[in-house]
Chain A
Amino acid sequence: MALKGNLRNFSTTQLLNLINLARKTGMLMIYEGIPTGEEDALGEPKYTPGKQRAAVAFKNGKLIYAEMGTQDGNLASVLHKAGKLNDRQAQVIRERASLTSDKALALLLIQANYVTQADIVASVQQHTLDIVYDLLTWADGPFAFNDGELPGDDRITVPIDLENVIIEGSRRIKELETLNDELPNLDFALKFPEDPGDKFKGIHLSVEEWRVVSFVNPKNSIRQIAKANNMNDTEIRRIVYGLLQAGLVELVKPPGMEEKARQAAGARSRKDAPQIKKTVVNKLIDRIKTL
């Protein structure tokens, strides 16, 4: 089963949300787009995958590894970038240990007291996050999720919860249209998911984000929450978008809204919906079964 598309239609944030909720394992590939000359269903130019731009791996819905197409992602470079190795050390390792796997190199460096295991974990984690935060801002490009695929055994992987990544991503969204598209109606209210589990555990929210969370209640429209917190439309949209994509809250129609919408559409309410009998439905069922 494919999970392919273009970031233009299904953003990195939405993909992370999907991978998180479905607890997926596999590799997300993002490519340079080569125009095919054809058009998609929206009449936009169609692109086929070209050179790989980034690869990001997930295990059971957690981010574990990322590499950027053009960047040198080996451990020596990662530690160098993080300031754990100086220029000379990094250069020596690159020259002498170019054939050593990252995992083997990590052991050597720890044994030689160059770095601690915690240094390595922190540096690799930061490296992974830097890449993912970067690609959260990419507005288009073909992508494909390769189910079950993982990085090579020699790679160092560090599991990272996606909720925080998604929230951080929503803080960085530059295209405000995305926010408007995904959250067109501020008259909706918010509720916590049925089964929030420990989703809020270990979540890093800003003061403003916590303030919004504290108003979550099916009776409060998003507009009201914004007003109570003196936030403008863009500010509230950004926060709610992040919370939604991270699966921390869900949209609900506040009481009365559904009925109002129906009246506006000139439609009937449930009471005067066509009265049909159960026997009629059962007859339809029996008939369709015989077709």
Chain B
Amino acid sequence: MQTVKMVITGPFSSGKTEFIRSISEIEVVSTERDITTPAEQVKDQTTVAMDFGRITVDDDLVLYLFGTPGQRRFDFMWEILAEGMLGFVVMVDSSKPETFREAKSILETFRAYAPTPYVVAANKQDHPDAWSPEDLRIALRIEDGVKLLPCVALDKESVKTVLLELLYSILEEMEL
């Protein structure tokens, strides 16, 4: 049996766990922990090691989705998760400009781990304060050749589109 994996990364609270939860056929195996430091108390739980989701294709092929922990103090996990990945998604909380710089830095770090295709998901597009994907592209200085997709991680169709676009990019890369 062949297993392939994709990594979902991005800053703290950008929606990585939600993204995997929306599409995984299994209950996401998440290593969530209650948040104790007040600075991070914007939500109850954070991922401390990784999220783990699964999509079975057939008896011979399984896709694993790994979500990275968003907080930098857990970033020793990143490189391990990046190993052998088919591609990665960088999630950005479009409504929180204070996280854009961090998102860009995570993107660059993952690019250095492996030369795989990636897409950027402008998440939380349903939020009233969300920046548009076009503005985010300029704010994050995403090159024209890289896909920047609107996303609502709570919506399965939206998550499907992001994963499909990543797979199309992977196909294109193979045809080069």
Contact = CB atoms under 8 A, between A and B. Distances in A.
Interface of A: 1-6, 8-10, 14, 17-18, 21-22, 39-44, 181, 251, 258, 261-262, 264-270, 273-274, 276, 278, 280-285, 287-289, 291
B99 A42 contact: yes
A24 to B, nearest CB: 9
A176 B171 CA distance: 43
Given A10-B100, A268-B114, A284 B138 contact: no
B61 A283 contact: yes
A1 B131 contact: yes
Contacts of B99: 41-42
A290 to B, nearest CB: 10
B147 to A, nearest CB: 15
Interface residues on B, range: 35 or more
A265 B112 CA distance: 7
B112 A267 contact: yes
22 contacts: A1-B131, A1-B132, A3-B135, A5-B98, A6-B97, A10-B97, A18-B139, A39-B39, A41-B11, A43-B38, A43-B40, A44-B98, A262-B112, A262-B114, A267-B112, A268-B114, A269-B115, A280-B61, A284-B63, A287-B63, A288-B55, A291-B23
Nearest to A43: B39
Nearest to B84: A274
A45 B170 CA distance: 41
Contacts of B115: 258, 262, 269-270, 273
Given A265-B112, A283-B61, A284-B167, A41 B12 contact: yes
Given A2-B130, A291-B160, A9 B79 contact: no
A276 B4 contact: yes
Contact of B113 (A21, A40, A267): A267
A163 B55 CA distance: 49
Q: Which 8 A-B pairs have the closest CB atoms?
A: A43-B39, A5-B97, A1-B132, A9-B98, A261-B112, A287-B57, A270-B115, A267-B113
Contacts of A280: 2, 4, 61
Given A9-B101, A278-B171, A18 B135 contact: yes
Nearest to B113: A267
Given A9-B101, A273-B114, A284 B4 contact: yes
A22 B96 CA distance: 20
A97 to B, nearest CB: 41
Nearest to A21: B138
Interface in B1-42: 2, 4, 11-13, 23, 38-40, 42
A98 B2 CA distance: 79
Contact of B135 (A6, A22, A44, A274): A22
Nearest to B24: A291
For B42, B82, B115, B170, the residue with the greatest tally of chain A CB atoms inside 10 Å of its CB is B115
A276 B112 CA distance: 21
B106 to A, nearest CB: 13
